[in-house]
Structure 1
């Protein structure tokens, strides 16, 4: 007795790759790198060779897709030892990794930065890790979120700044109108070169160190203000 072949299952591999959450996110990053964060789900579906309705099996809408993109990038940033190091030690390699990871996809940074954190689990876990370390180290609780926002704002701005020319602050045709700025810009680039860094990287490292030091010192200001308030009372 012979068995008839199943006519519903064609031989060989399917003509199109199987759709998956990972493939959708990978294609979304590629599309965003070219078109920025204003791409549509219809455009993404065309890139994937599927109908837009197929995407809704994985993402309810574009906001959920953007949340997934942010979650994937946040996972790439990593932990950097918040459980074992003081928060201000762990935050430095975290900020470097954040800048490098998000800076690799500048077209989507604005959309990622304005997404509510509640829509994305990986970011909640990441922020919780930082907040727990700061609280453990005695950082004033009412200053934790402002401190995290300040650092993240600086990192996102630095990621965008890394795309600009290194001498974008240097007057060229109008140098005579800004002799102090011209000299300072030249000195900054010379200093960075002597340290075997690009001007952009040197600026980031200086700004990060200054910001973290300032956030640490700010707790002393709070303590002084509290003492003064107590003395007046």
Structure 2
């Protein structure tokens, strides 16, 4: 071969793949953080510099991609000792890790929270670990999923609350119409400031501990405090 011909071209696939699960997920998180969950696979492909059909080899639908994104977030949560500790102890750092993970990707909160877990191994393993801890501690079987959903609902709501202004409940324009609210809202913000945290963080810690305490009490009685069944109590309230 002469020098003018140059080196022979390599045959076969390139050594470094253009795409990978990790690269696609990283780009998807960046796109969702910038534009929210309404991004398309086409816009993701443009960001990666490939054709949309190239993504289908890894994620056939956007729902499959969102599921993988939630799986990535779940992996970041860690185990938090559910295999050894009582559920009410392990659930506290798990909840804090969950709201931190949601807080990093606020544009995805609704999409991540409403997607079924079927077919997503990371979330299934996480829920299985938590449910097993509830069962091991003797929590009523029919109340475990409601307890878990209540906790997740609180975490999701708190993550959204963290996006609001710190004085969101302050009646600025007509304070004379709500003197009690103005007084207590100011007290809450002052207490959070004294603790060196935001009002949303202090509210989350208060609500988390209150919710866990209530769930423990219900689990010990097999129903709402006093022994009544939660479903029956709810039915009476609605019908009344």
TM-score normalized with structure 1 length: 0.90
How big is the shift at 1:7?
Answer: 3.4
Answer yes or no: is the 8 Å Cα contact 1:64–1:119 preserved in 2.
Answer: no
Partner residue of 2:206? Answer: 206
Q: 1:137-152 to 2 correspondence within 5 Å?
A: 137-152=137-152
Partner of 2:175: 175
Partner secondary structure for residue 184 of structure 2: helix
- What aligned pairs does 1:1-233 form with structure 2 within 5 A after superposition? 5-7=7-9, 18-222=18-222, 224-225=227-228
Cα distance in 1 for partners of 2:141, 2:100 equals 29
Is 1:99–1:158's contact at 8 Å kept on the other side of the alignment?
yes
> In structure 2, how many angstroms separate the alpha carbons of the residues matched to 1:160 and 1:6?
58
Q: Deviations over 1:136-176 (max 9, x none)?
A: 00000000001011001111111111111111111111111
Instruction: Provide the residue aligned with 1:229 in structure 2.
Output: none
Q: Which runs of no fewer than 5 residues in structure 2 stay unpaired?
A: 230-240
The offset of 1:6, in angstroms, is 2.5
171-180 or 87-96, which deviates more? 171-180
Does the CA contact (< 8 Å) of 1:134 and 1:144 recur in 2?
yes
Using the TM superposition, give the Cα deviation of residue 8 of structure 1 relative to its aligned residue in structure 2, in angstroms.
5.5
Alpha-carbon spacing, 1:196–1:7, altered in 2? closer, same or farther (3 Å): closer
Pairwise CA RMSD: 2.1
- 1:56-100: CA deviations, max 9, x gaps? 110111010000000000000111100111000000000000000
**Runs in 1 of length 4+ with deviation above 6 angstroms?**
1-4
In structure 1, stretches of 5+ residues that fail to align are 227-233
The TM-score normalised by the length of structure 2 is 0.87
- Aligned to 2:176, what secondary structure does the other structure show? helix
How far did 1:122 drift?
Answer: 0.3
Q: How many residues align?
A: 222
How far 1:219 sits from its partner (Å)? 1.9
How far apart are 1:196 and its partner, in Å? 2.3
Distance in structure 2 (CA, Å) of the matches to 1:171 and 1:13: 62
Deviation at 1:119, TM superposition (A): 2.9
1:86-135 Cα deviation digits (max 9, x unpaired): 00000000000000011100101111101001131100000000000000
Deviation of 1:218 after TM superposition, in Å, equals: 0.8
Distance 2:187 2:157 in 1: 23
8 A contact 1:102–1:109 mirrored in 2: yes
Provide closer, same or farther for how the CA distance between residues 135 and 174 of structure 1 changes in structure 2, counting only shifts above 3 A: same
